[in-house]
């Protein structure tokens, strides 16, 4: 694996907004998430060299892109940074093939993926003769990604590449981004305001808020904090209540019922059949609204996922609701959002054993190197 690490330190004050961030990113996907105006795009543009900052030191491995203290500023075209914007920004007068070839011309003699490899990876072989105006939004973004890859980047920056797409097009392009993640051995910074995109694609995450890094680390470790989620809720319509991110392993397949059983630290979850071998790792996101509680193990119930847990803490979540934090085994936590009345009627309190009834399990990421989920 490549040892090139991106090192970033940026400070900028402009029109009442201050950006002050410092972080490192190795090979793999580093997700950058936060509400609008947090400084995500400002950070990427400084790394790419599209803008200058008051104070900055940016380096990739031993090569320094910017060091304002030493008067160093490497021009953008010399940095070999691939940049994918919110809009595809393809050349309208060129075909898809010619747009891809533009990326190839920029790379010089550096080794890179061939056009055939990129076309196959992104599934754009049938589009080569088309002009951009004949492409869907998802197709255009795949071509834009291909052009960036063919420039032989040492670093790939993706600035909300799915934000301009509808839900159908987002679902269409996501598997290609996952394939990209597995194929490339270089740092990728993926900016988004959507938690599910970060959970599905990222290896690690930075949470930006008000121009500062509010939290950083492994995806589940960072995003399982309700206070961190609350910084992002206003920008993510899918996060209207707390959610738990779990990393599970495939334990077995129930072929008779087309189900796959997942292990989460000793507890078992059943999900629709996955095309993954036993032992494969997957990432789940469980919304608090999809978890009900019982003080006795229920019988004759259609909900199949019933997990024994213990109440850790109960917090007020509004005039009529509370969030109940649950411990599952020694390592995992779940959140359930229920009404105040239900909590009172069940006499819920910290330390009390309960059963969590999980109505819906969202598979948002395949962490294995094998086949995708069906």
Contacts of 323 (CB under 8 A, 6+ apart): 226, 241, 242, 288, 314, 315, 316, 317, 335, 336, 337
Contacts of 20 (CB under 8 A, 6+ apart): 10, 11, 12, 211, 212
> Which residue ranges make up each domain of the chain?
6-229, 243-366
Give pLDDT, residue 227: 83
CB atoms within 10 A of CB 353: 13
Q: How far apart are CA 244 and CA 221, in angstroms?
A: 10
Name the pLDDT band for 238 (thresholds 50, 70, 90): very low
- In tens, the pLDDT along 312-347 reads 999 998 899 999 999 998 788 899 999 999 999 999
- Mean pLDDT of the chain, nearest integer: 87
Mean pLDDT of the 255-275 span: 89
Most confident of 107-111, 282-286, 366-370: 282-286
Give pLDDT, residue 170: 83
Give pLDDT, residue 253: 94
Give pLDDT, residue 110: 57
- In tens, the pLDDT along 344-371 reads 999 999 999 999 999 877 666 555 543 3
Give pLDDT, residue 364: 62
CA dihedral over 139, 202, 60, 214, signed as positive or negative: positive
Name the pLDDT band for 1 (thresholds 50, 70, 90): very low
208-217 in b/e burial notation, b at 16+ Cβ within 10 A?
A: bbebebbbbe
Mean pLDDT of the 159-187 span: 85
CATH architecture classification, 6-229: 3-Layer(aba) Sandwich (3.40)
Q: How far apart are CA 343 and CA 347, in angstroms?
A: 6
Mean pLDDT of the 123-129 span: 93
Q: How far apart are CA 83 and CA 149, in angstroms?
A: 9
Who wins on pLDDT, 70 or 178? Answer: 70
Q: How far apart are CA 24 and CA 125, in angstroms?
A: 36
Nearest to 42 by CA among 186, 197, 208: 208
CATH of the domain spanning 243-366 = 2.40.50.100
Most confident of 18-22, 100-104, 111-115, 195-199: 18-22
The answer to whether the beta carbons of residues 275 and 231 sit under 8 Å apart is no
Task: Name the phi and psi angles at 226, rounded to 5.
Answer: -60, -40
CA 289 to chain centre: 21
- In tens, the pLDDT along 189-230 reads 999 988 888 988 899 999 999 999 999 999 988 998 888 888
Give pLDDT, residue 3: 58
Task: Name the phi and psi angles at 145, rounded to 5.
Answer: -65, -40
- In tens, the pLDDT along 57-88 reads 999 999 999 999 999 999 998 999 999 998 88
Contacts of 170 (CB under 8 A, 6+ apart): 138, 162, 197
Mean pLDDT of the 144-172 span: 88
Name the pLDDT band for 103 (thresholds 50, 70, 90): confident
How many percent of the chain have pLDDT more than 90? 53
Q: Which two tokens stand for residue 31?
A: 């997700």
Helical spans, DSSP H, in 308-354 = 340-345
Give pLDDT, residue 363: 60
């Amino acid at each position: 694996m490549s040892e090139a690490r991106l090192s970033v330190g940026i400070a900028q004050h402009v029109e009442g907004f201050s950006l002050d961030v410092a972080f490192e990113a190795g090979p793999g996907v580093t997700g950058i998430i936060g509400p609008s105006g947090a400084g995500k795009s400002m950070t990427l543009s400084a790394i790419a060299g599209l803008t200058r900052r008051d104070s900055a030191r940016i380096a990739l491995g031993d090569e320094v892109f910017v060091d304002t203290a030493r008067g160093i500023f490497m021009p953008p075209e010399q940095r070999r940074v691939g940049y994918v914007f919110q809009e595809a920004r393809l050349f309208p007068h060129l075909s898809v093939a010619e747009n891809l070839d533009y990326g190839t011309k920029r790379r010089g003699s550096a080794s890179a993926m061939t056009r055939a490899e990129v076309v196959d990876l992104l599934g754009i072989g049938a589009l080569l003769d088309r002009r951009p105006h004949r492409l869907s939004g998802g197709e255009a973004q795949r071509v834009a990604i291909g052009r960036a890859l063919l420039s032989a980047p040492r670093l790939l920056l993706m600035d909300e590449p799915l934000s301009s797409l509808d839900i159908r097009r987002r679902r269409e392009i996501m598997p290609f981004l996952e394939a990209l993640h597995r194929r490339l051995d270089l740092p990728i910074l993926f900016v988004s305001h959507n938690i599910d995109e970060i959970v599905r694609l990222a290896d690690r995450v930075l949470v930006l808020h008000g121009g500062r890094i509010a939290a950083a680390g492994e995806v589940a470790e960072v995003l399982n904090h309700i206070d961190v989620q609350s910084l992002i809720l206003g920008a993510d319509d899918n996060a209207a209540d707390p959610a738990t991110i779990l990393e599970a392993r495939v334990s077995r397949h129930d072929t008779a019922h087309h189900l796959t059983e997942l292990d989460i630290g000793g507890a078992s979850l059943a999900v629709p059949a996955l095309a993954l071998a036993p032992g494969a790792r997957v990432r789940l996101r469980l919304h608090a609204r999809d978890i009900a509680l019982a003080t006795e193990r229920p019988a004759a119930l259609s909900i199949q996922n019933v997990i024994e847990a213990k109440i850790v803490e109960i917090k007020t979540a509004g005039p009529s609701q509370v969030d109940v934090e649950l411990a599952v085994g020694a390592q995992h936590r779940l959140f359930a959002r229920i009404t105040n009345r239900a909590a009172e009627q069940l006499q819920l309190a910290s330390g009390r054993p309960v059963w969590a009834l999980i109505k819906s399990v969202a598979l948002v990421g395949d962490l294995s190197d094998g086949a995708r989920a069906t």
